[in-house]
Structure 1
């Protein structure tokens, strides 16, 4: 049996392909070896679904954020081997997941706009170029943490419309100290900042909220897509909740930047399942 995982900072989608062809699915906590040790990830993997299939799985294909270096891939593999006592565990980064899920065996530019952001130029088989992805402090343009950070900064400095600020106060009971504590003192500040994107999306008919997304997407295009050779003539695909739930704004921003948006999906897991089902 084959087990496929697509793991981001906030969640992991698991798909089990049984030998009969039946597919089972599960959603669990997200992992990132940039911020977690192998032991911490192994502890989080003590999941009822995974423990229940640990003796049945033959092969694992794990795609995850933070898995761009050999050291980090080894950490994830070590965590997985604490549960799965099998030979074949393949760990790859989330950009390969996005490329295989959206492009399959065709050439194109694949992008991630979720809690964080990333991109690559894919020739149909391998990634031929990619941009740096330095995370929520130095990068993540267009991602949820990036947008949430701007939103919270505007809240602190009272640079947002009063109507939006009042709704924020009513819904979240926010204050300066709570924000500072969550961003600087508690784990996973990127997740915290990105968590406000649902509120922003719900209010994107307001020009302020609309422009938060629009400007963030333009920043992403400048830092990522426009750096690839011949980008105007390549289909550009997106995965991730920020892209999916704000696809209208994303397509408008792309049109203005003369970028051809092709596919926008929330999660690559369905495409990955199809990709691995077709593997010889």
Structure 2
């Protein structure tokens, strides 16, 4: 019996598995060892996760999490889990690897996360072998909801939107210069605010101006990231995340323009991770990362 986790900064999805069934599921707050200490993570796991598992005790835990990109951070999460599950094999890795395993399985491919932010990697069927850095909210995140939102906000503030877009946008989000700047510079998570405008763009995606922005967003993503990987002409390009999922039709159209083969688009990694780890259990008969 193994326990897998897909953890972002907001929430963590947990699944308890055998090789052929899902025994249970749970959800806790999200974790990010960039900002949280082991004690805080331990407390949430002990107080919230443990009661949801009941009498089930996993022999191995595979945790894919935001911020788990250095040995020190990974050790912080491992130490927290070890206090709750002292006898379990514990494997901690980055959420990008979790995304790659969820959408590519054990086959090589280019794995892409398109949600509030964005990230990509070249995956060999087991591990990440190349990663064009995303550079985050301020300098990058092309393809993401945040990047799309920035395009829309700038067009609004520079008076480039026609009335049929500017008025409903202003009314929906109570937009003016002060509210925008306060949300951007007075918040610890400005990317979430900017990414919230992706919903408006989805609702108005048939408008040619909005459609051009969505095309621009995805074009920059492919040119700055996906096209940089060796083998992009022949490898499948797979996606996970809310933006990829909800804008899948346009995403596929833009990918086709660059001669790319899109095979898989899913909203959340957890279901793909279930299949990946169950296949490993069936193949090897023992927990294996």
TM-score (norm 1): 0.88
Q: Tell me what 2:220 maps to.
A: 219
Task: Name the CA distance, whole Å, in 1 between partners of 2:158 and 2:181.
Answer: 13
Question: Over residues 191-232 of structure 1, what are the superposed CA-to-partner deviations in whole Å (9 max), with x where a residue is unaligned?
Answer: 222122122111111122222221111111111111111211
Displaced runs of 4+ in structure 1, greater than 6 A?
none
Give how far 1:236 is off.
0.7
- Cα distance in 2 for residues equivalent to 1:186 and 1:82: 34
Counterpart-to-counterpart distance in 2, 1:248 and 1:112:
16
Q: Please say which of residues 204-213 and 254-263 is displaced more in the overlay.
A: 204-213
Q: What is the match of residue 15 of structure 2?
A: 15
Displacement of 1:235 after TM fit?
A: 0.9
* 1:63-212 correspondence runs (5 A): 63-81=64-82, 83-212=84-213
Structure 2 stretches lacking a partner, 5+ long:
285-289
Q: Deviations over 1:110-135 (max 9, x none)?
A: 11111111111112222221111321
> Where does residue 263 of structure 2 map in the other structure?
262
Worse-matched range after superposition: 74-83 or 38-47: 38-47
Q: Tell me, what secondary structure is at the counterpart of 1:233? A: coil
Number of residue pairs aligned between Structure 1 and Structure 2: 280
Deviation at 1:238, TM superposition (A): 0.7
SS of match in other structure, 1:220: helix
CA deviation profile, 1:147-173 (whole Å, cap 9, x unmatched): 122222323333323222211222222
- Give the corresponding residue for 2:53: 53
The 10-residue stretch of structure 1 (16-25 or 137-146) with the greater mean CA deviation from structure 2: 16-25
Match in the other structure for 1:6: 6
Aligned residues of 1:145 and 1:190 also touching (Cα < 8 A): yes
- Aligned mates of 1:193, 1:89 — CA distance in 2: 36
Structure label with greater radius of gyration: 2
Question: Structure 1: which 5+ runs fail to align?
Answer: none
